[in-house]
A and B are shown apart, each in its own frame.
Chain A
């Protein structure tokens, strides 16, 4: 079948599936991504969907997209521009007009490009001209009609038939990328196990799309070789599952039961949903009545000896402020996962941003220092969720783990870790029989207090939000308050003795140091790599540990002539760095559009500085 069409070899390809939020684009993108990873490619995915469950059909606001970048090398970003766009309706085309590469291909379902939909999308008449796509290769496919035709003998109602339309697009793209349909067929069989007719319909349409693509004269299939990844067993993982599983792994390693108290909030809800499934591993999830209850239930569970975690997003973190202060004061180990979204207020709930950093660092009453760390790729959400638990449990301190919408929704292949390779976790639990237990007596080196867990005979004590002395008694003594504030701050600072040093990627010294933190790693890394390939003197210092900062930060900064701090906000990390290391001159690149960086914009900005 493929004989006639020798595929064109490519290193990488970016595909964007786009349609109405009811068109099944997220599923289509996911199935194509699964197909690609199982075929040996590396990938990064970028789902982008509206906050309305069903925005008015056919409008620009209701467009749901799924972008995937596949390649035969280590892929770090979902790609700035797409080689192939599938647009199921005029609104989807309009939203993605700027995304297409000059030599890219746009596939449209011409049956949905009727006058009503064209107007709804905000076009006047000639969509191609009005979009400036006169020179772009556009394949007009009668996907709706062909789907109807393929299913005419099955006796299905019109709505069910139209639900299968996304499989036509998937079939076409599978042919275009020289991929087999096995993964999709397997999925359909399992999903519709009890509805064999629906399964049959989806498979018919999938194959119809595949076969139809082969007949299009204007296109040839592409082929992307296996990516050269490290040996091991792999699975595809997104940031949500990675973070959730990192918590369970920490629970297993520490021997503490995992308790998640959480309130649903986009884009953090996935963590609550994922952990709710894990009763088989003894995970207790508590869907609280609000964000405040979520963090306070976690404080109670921590007091009672659990590994206690809450997950939220910016507005929820704001509501947890007071409770978090209590955990700081009581010196209980809790982990707060903050999945950042566009703010302030309700903001852009489904879009990504990095604007909660100051809130995480300082957003509490009084002197309330805690540990702040950030994951930087979808899969390393596992490692940093584990790390957050380890630091919290061993240091008896609240830890905020910063993720973002881009990280939790993004997915990539992941080499499954060996549980024995993960570090052990040793919480400072006070043993029964310990004499003269004092709740706030500290380890001399780490300043960590002992954790006496209710149920342990002889260690009965009371803690609380009031200032106390070493014995745990309430104290309003002025000197004691100063001492305790300083001790709590110093305890957090001493975590710097545990965390790894800051790594420089690329040139170890030179003209320009690019600085970033959290979810922007892939884009920053790719930009720096590409500029180095062009012979530029440039390095990347990407932060996962924010409070405390790695001990060698100042040393790293002093090795470069210029420093640029890149963030998806108006400059929060740079202000923090200025307060810690005021002697350096910091440039900034800030973007706050609810979108990740593009490699192109970063490279342009770095080039400008390098050319000064």
Chain B
């Protein structure tokens, strides 16, 4: 665990720049949660690097006073990979959206996860292209009416957690913009995880897709529709804390504690550290109407990271090779004198 050595506050990561997101945009809350997480961990400004692509969420680095790079559409993950490989000492953060990461950057996204690059990826999922003013995205639900799908999309959306697990990811967490406490918590865990940490933040776009998550957040149903997972705790949720998840015949099932002889002991205990991805995949894919949506750190597994393996390989080769400098290389193999 990193400790807060410097007693930083979120303000320490706030630059003097005007934030240009729409008033009421979910991004403001995510920004605050990231600043809070960095301050609580105690990161140095100079060793933190924020990389983004293109989209509303990708303006993020401008609102941090760390090193930052606002790159091009879809490519933040590879620019971030280059930074991390070049200097593994840096704490690299990538800010991206559903269009940036999953459409134009889809190829880079799966490979970044597959390589387990030690990058903290915050993916703002608002199910819409906002910066270009309201086209449907790879996470828009089927039937979504938008300016490029006036009769409803006929495309099926990605489920981000499924993609991450499919790409053999080591870390997946989900939060929602209005839950700053949960966001801060998962960002901290993401930062502490060695490897590619993907945090999907459900984010409300107030201008082009307002209310996309209303069913999840409305006060009356919120508790029945959100399952917040904690390591080592039973998967219990609901207004009266009486709903739970069990595994039955290889499938997840929602049960009510106290009904049909179900007790608290029957409820699944969450283990994000288990290498086996099957249960994690079921958890990330849960959704209405049958299931609640899962939140929190769903998967957090220890795996080799790219930059560490590369450093180790370089050290190993260097210890064995006779070639120590350019002179040695130039004079290696067959040479002759004239």
Chain A contacts to B: CB under 8 angstroms: 34, 37-38, 40, 229-236, 245, 248-249, 252, 257, 259, 261, 278-282, 284, 286, 288-290, 292-293, 296-306, 308, 322-323, 326, 330, 416-417, 419, 454-466, 473-474
> Complex Cα distance A457/B47, Å?
8
Minimum CB–CB distance for B337 against chain A, Å: 5
Contact with A304, one of B50, B90, B333, B338 (Cβ below 8 angstroms): B90
CB atoms of A279 and B318 under 8 A apart: yes
CB atoms of B334 and A299 under 8 A apart: no
Contacts of A417 in B (CB 8 A): 330
CB atoms of B82 and A292 under 8 A apart: no
Minimum CB–CB distance for B319 against chain A, Å: 9
Instruction: Rank and list the top 5 A-B pairs by shortest CB-CB distance, nearest first.
Output: A300-B82, A464-B70, A280-B321, A462-B68, A297-B82
Contact with B82, one of A34, A301, A330 (Cβ below 8 angstroms): A301
CB atoms of A326 and B47 under 8 A apart: no
Mostly, the B contact residues are mixed
> Complex Cα distance A233/B80, Å?
43
> Complex Cα distance A299/B47, Å?
18
Contact with B330, one of A231, A257, A289, A416 (Cβ below 8 angstroms): A416
Contact with B65, one of A245, A259, A454, A460 (Cβ below 8 angstroms): A460
CB atoms of B318 and A454 under 8 A apart: no
CB atoms of A233 and B335 under 8 A apart: yes
- Taken residue by residue from 275 to 314, chain B's Cβ proximity to chain A (1 for < 8 Å, 0 otherwise) reads as 0000000000000000000000000000000000010011
Of chain A, the residue at the smallest CB distance from B317 is A279
Minimum CB–CB distance for B94 against chain A, Å: 10
> Complex Cα distance A466/B54, Å?
10
CB atoms of B83 and A233 under 8 A apart: no
Q: Is B273 an interface residue (CB 8 A)?
A: no
CB atoms of A282 and B82 under 8 A apart: no
Chain B contacts to A: CB under 8 angstroms: 17, 44-47, 49-51, 54, 61-62, 65-72, 75, 78-87, 89-90, 107-108, 111, 310, 313-314, 317-318, 320-321, 323-327, 329-331, 333-338
Contacts of B333 in A (CB 8 A): 235
CB atoms of A231 and B314 under 8 A apart: no
On whether A279 and B314 interact (CB within 8 A), knowing A234-B336, A416-B335, the answer reads yes
> Complex Cα distance A416/B336, Å?
10
Contacts of A322 in B (CB 8 A): 72
CB atoms of B331 and A298 under 8 A apart: no
CB atoms of A296 and B82 under 8 A apart: yes
Contacts of B89 in A (CB 8 A): 455
Of chain B, the residue at the smallest CB distance from A38 is B336
A–B complex contacts, Cβ < 8 Å, 5 sampled: A280-B318, A288-B78, A299-B79, A303-B82, A454-B67
CB atoms of B323 and A248 under 8 A apart: no
Minimum CB–CB distance for A383 against chain B, Å: 13
> Complex Cα distance A302/B313, Å?
22
> Complex Cα distance A466/B73, Å?
12
CB atoms of B334 and A454 under 8 A apart: no
CB atoms of A301 and B46 under 8 A apart: no
CB atoms of B69 and A235 under 8 A apart: no
Most chain B CB within 10 A, of A288, A289, A299, is at A289
> Complex Cα distance A296/B329, Å?
29
CB atoms of A454 and B83 under 8 A apart: yes
On whether A292 and B78 interact (CB within 8 A), knowing A245-B330, A416-B335, the answer reads yes
CB atoms of A455 and B62 under 8 A apart: no
> Complex Cα distance A454/B84, Å?
11
On whether A236 and B334 interact (CB within 8 A), knowing A245-B329, A300-B78, A303-B83, the answer reads yes
> Complex Cα distance A454/B325, Å?
27
Minimum CB–CB distance for B63 against chain A, Å: 10
> Complex Cα distance A90/B89, Å?
60
Contacts of A249 in B (CB 8 A): 326
On whether A296 and B75 interact (CB within 8 A), knowing A308-B86, A419-B327, A454-B67, the answer reads yes
CB atoms of B71 and A459 under 8 A apart: no
Contacts of B85 in A (CB 8 A): 259, 284, 286, 297, 300-301
> Complex Cα distance A299/B75, Å?
10
Contact with B66, one of A245, A298, A460 (Cβ below 8 angstroms): A460
**Additional A-B contact list (9), CB under 8 Å, known A232-B338, A284-B85, A463-B69:** A245-B326, A279-B317, A280-B321, A300-B51, A304-B49, A306-B86, A416-B330, A419-B326, A460-B65
Of chain B, the residue at the smallest CB distance from A290 is B107
CB atoms of B87 and A455 under 8 A apart: yes
> Complex Cα distance A546/B240, Å?
75
Of chain A, the residue at the smallest CB distance from B316 is A279
CB atoms of B337 and A233 under 8 A apart: yes
> Complex Cα distance A402/B161, Å?
43
Minimum CB–CB distance for B106 against chain A, Å: 11
> Complex Cα distance A456/B67, Å?
9
CB atoms of B82 and A304 under 8 A apart: yes
> Complex Cα distance A37/B333, Å?
14
Contacts of A326 in B (CB 8 A): 71-72
Minimum CB–CB distance for B119 against chain A, Å: 10
Minimum CB–CB distance for A312 against chain B, Å: 15
On whether A252 and B326 interact (CB within 8 A), knowing A257-B86, A462-B62, the answer reads yes
Of chain B, the residue at the smallest CB distance from A227 is B338
CB atoms of B78 and A293 under 8 A apart: yes
CB atoms of A299 and B82 under 8 A apart: yes
Minimum CB–CB distance for A155 against chain B, Å: 33
> Complex Cα distance A455/B17, Å?
22
CB atoms of B71 and A235 under 8 A apart: no
Minimum CB–CB distance for B76 against chain A, Å: 9
> Complex Cα distance A459/B47, Å?
11
> Complex Cα distance A461/B68, Å?
6
Contacts of B326 in A (CB 8 A): 245, 248-249, 252, 281, 419
> Complex Cα distance A231/B338, Å?
5
On whether A461 and B67 interact (CB within 8 A), knowing A281-B325, A322-B72, A454-B46, the answer reads yes
CB atoms of B336 and A233 under 8 A apart: yes
Minimum CB–CB distance for B170 against chain A, Å: 18
Minimum CB–CB distance for A28 against chain B, Å: 17
Contacts of A299 in B (CB 8 A): 71, 79, 82
CB atoms of A38 and B68 under 8 A apart: no
Minimum CB–CB distance for B294 against chain A, Å: 29
Contacts of B66 in A (CB 8 A): 460
Most chain B CB within 10 A, of A235, A261, A293, A323, is at A293
Minimum CB–CB distance for B31 against chain A, Å: 14
Most chain B CB within 10 A, of A286, A299, A458, A464, is at A464
Contacts of B338 in A (CB 8 A): 40, 229-232, 234
> Complex Cα distance A512/B67, Å?
56
Most chain A CB within 10 A, of B86, B313, B323, B334, is at B86
> Complex Cα distance A132/B147, Å?
70
On whether A465 and B321 interact (CB within 8 A), knowing A286-B85, A296-B79, A460-B66, the answer reads no
CB atoms of B87 and A454 under 8 A apart: yes
CB atoms of A248 and B111 under 8 A apart: no
Minimum CB–CB distance for A540 against chain B, Å: 26
CB atoms of B86 and A300 under 8 A apart: yes
Most chain A CB within 10 A, of B49, B70, B82, is at B82
Minimum CB–CB distance for A203 against chain B, Å: 19
Contacts of A230 in B (CB 8 A): 338
Minimum CB–CB distance for B95 against chain A, Å: 12
CB atoms of B86 and A465 under 8 A apart: no
Contacts of A298 in B (CB 8 A): 82
> Complex Cα distance A303/B65, Å?
16
